[in-house]
Amino acid sequence: MTENFDIGIIGAGPGGYSAAIRAAQRGKRVVMFEKDCPGGVCLNRGCIPTKVILHCADFYKNLKKAEKFGINIENASYSYEKIFERKNNVTQKIKTNLRKLILSHDVVIVDEEARITGKNEITAGENKYECENIIIATGAKPAKIANFETDGKFIVNSDELLELDKIPDNILIAGSGAIGIEWARIFSGLGKNVTIIEIAPTLLPAADAEISARVERLFKKDKIRFFKSTSITKIEKNQVFLDNENVIEADLVLFAAGRVPVLPKIENIELEMDGKFIKTDENFRTNIKNIFAIGDVNGKIQLAHAATHQALGAVDFITRNDPIHFDVLKIPSVVYGNPEIAWVGKTEKQLGGIDYRVSCFPVAALGKAQADDEIDGFIKVLSVDGKIAGAHIVSPEASALIQQFALMIDNEISEENILKTTFAHPTYSEGVFEAILGLGDLSLSMLKVKK
């Protein structure tokens, strides 16, 4: 039996389910295929479960300094088994509600693996689905590391780590991207010994150099060991050998060194590739004009919110022929933990050769930061021709603050007009105001430097 649909979507992660809901809102008949469960990596093995655990670790870490706030708590402890249970309960609740949300829009969900068997045909099990347009949103998975195999116990990837209901005392993490940094903070917050190995010359290498330097400072403060420009040469029993001749004793090794696309099964047609990724044009359309690829699978940027943004753009292009406005540099990035780290726009390195101004406002100058005892961080702003070109933040609430800069950059709002806005006091958002004031040497909270 063959059913007919306007749009068929393979994958029900943030990109897939957002595309399904938007297409239904546009009056289209939609079928979505998911071999696992709705929510994709973000909900099931990434953003949400990790943040549940991270919040628990931060909560415990804050309890240990409660006396500083006049609160007496003795013998604070935690149960990772209960943290693990909370992680499962939260994700299950969201999964249940997400399925209800999708179905409320009359999207047909097929809980089977799908394969593309023609330019307008998707097959799942014994059934065929004729689709005027097809959107591939199959996501990504942890990359395999050359010469090393994970075993789900001693050597693990980020997916396997989330299945462990106990964590040992000595942990080595290979990779200092967002995943590696966040898990280092989790383990350290729970009182574990953590060592990070990074092949690049800086930690968090995708970030601005000033953020990377601050991460190093924060890690030293938290007694997280790290080695830069370093690789693992071999692992024997519980010993990890590095190319700098150090040998690290570890009870657990986490490989957090990137992700690779999950490609759907395709028969009878051939999609053009860009390396490991599906090649698309600026409208996320493949070489077959009615087949689109969004999110991690097209390799433009591997972030859940970027996949959602691409999904909405692709559907509006399909249904209304609206051109897509997607610029990787305008997508905010966030690394969670305490303090949060976030950035959007260009770094100083990317502005090399361009005349720009820079302002870096210390979070410690904010009354809110002093009240919260969260004084380690900064808000850095880069400006070109009177408009914000980049922002880089280490601060509590950085995940929210960065969105203010994303709006400024995306809408090309001038510094002059930004400064007409009133920022509430006492808040961390005042730091946004002060950082922009600093571009003109007009800060109201910094000591005047006499020349």
Q: Which residue matches tokens 């938007």?
A: 22
Whether 164 is covered by a domain: the verdict is yes
For 163, counting Cβ atoms within 10 Å of its Cβ (0-12 exposed, 13-18 middle, 19+ buried), the class is exposed
My answer on whether 17 and 121 are in the same domain is yes
Active-site position among 55, 105, 325, 425: 425
Indicate whether 388 and 310 sit together in one domain: no
Contact 170, 192 (CB under 8 A): yes
Residues 103 and 6 in one domain: yes
Does residue 429 form part of some domain?
A: yes
pLDDT confidence of 147, banded at 50, 70, 90? confident
Whether residues 105 and 135 fall in one domain: yes
Distance of CA 304 to the CA centre of its chain: 7
Q: Name which residue leads in pLDDT, 367 or 143.
A: 367
pLDDT band of 449, cuts 50, 70, 90: confident
pLDDT in the model for residue 285: 97
Does residue 150 sit within a domain?
A: no
Q: Which residues contact 432 (CB under 8 A, 6 or more apart)?
A: 379, 401, 404, 405, 423
pLDDT at 54: 97
User: Which of 297, 326, 355 is the endpoint of a domain?
Assistant: 326
Phi, psi of 449 (to 5 degrees): -90, 115
Statement to judge: residues 336 and 379 lie in one domain: yes
Segments in 129-226 forming alpha helices (H) = 158-161, 178-189, 209-221
Confirm if 380 and 408 have CB atoms less than 8 A apart: no
CATH of the domain at 238: 3.50.50.60
Work out how many domains the chain is built from and give that number: 3
Interacting residues of 161 by C-beta distance below 8 A, sequence separation 6+: 183, 254
**Whose CA is closest to 173, among 251, 234, 237?**
251
To the nearest 10 degrees (0 to 180), the angle between helices 398-410 and 430-438 is 50
Q: So what's the pLDDT on residue 129?
A: 97
The CATH code of the domain that includes 418 is 3.30.390.30
**Is residue 444 a contact partner of residue 437, using CB atoms and an 8 Å limit?**
yes
CB 129 within 8 A of CB 2: yes
Last residue of a domain, one of 326, 342, 373: 326
What is the mean predicted confidence (pLDDT) over 83-97? 97
359-376 pLDDT, tens digit per residue, is 999 999 999 999 999 999
Q: What is the mean pLDDT of the chain?
A: 96
Does residue 32 sit in the same domain as residue 134? yes
Q: What is the mean pLDDT of residues 151-155?
A: 93
Residue 444 maps to a domain: no
Which structural domain range is residue 348 located in?
A: 330-438
CB 185 within 8 A of CB 254: no
181 and 51 inside one domain: no
User: What does the block give as tokens for 211?
Assistant: 């953020």
Same domain, 307 and 432: no
Prior bond of 339 cis (ω within 30°): yes
How far apart are the C-alpha atoms of 329 and 332, rounded to whole Å?
8
443 domain residue, yes or no: no
Select from 326, 355, 380 the last residue of a domain.
326
Same domain? For 266 and 136 the reply is yes
Q: What is the mean pLDDT of residues 414-427?
A: 97
Any domain includes 294: yes
Catalytic, 425? Answer: yes
Q: How far apart are CA 263 and CA 136, in angstroms?
A: 9
My answer on whether 117 and 167 are in the same domain is no
Longest dimension (CA), the chain: 81
User: How many Cβ atoms from other residues are within 10 Å of residue 231's Cβ?
Assistant: 13
Q: Kindly state whether residues 89 and 221 are assigned to the same domain.
A: no
Average the pLDDT over 235-243 and give the result: 94
Q: Are residues 13 and 68 in the same domain?
A: yes
Specify if 447 maps to a domain: no
Provide the b/e sequence for 206-218 (b: ≥16 CB within 10 Å). Answer: ebbebbbebbbeb
In a domain, 206, yes or no: yes
16-28 pLDDT, tens per residue? 999 999 999 999 9
Q: Is the pLDDT of residue 1 over 80?
A: no
Tell me the CA distances in angstroms from 188 to 79, 205, 225, 393, one per residue in order.
15, 21, 10, 22
How confident is the model at residue 352, as a pLDDT?
Answer: 86
Question: How confident is the model over 194-211, as pLDDT tens digits?
Answer: 999 999 999 999 999 999
Least confident of 71-75, 80-84, 239-243, 405-409: 71-75
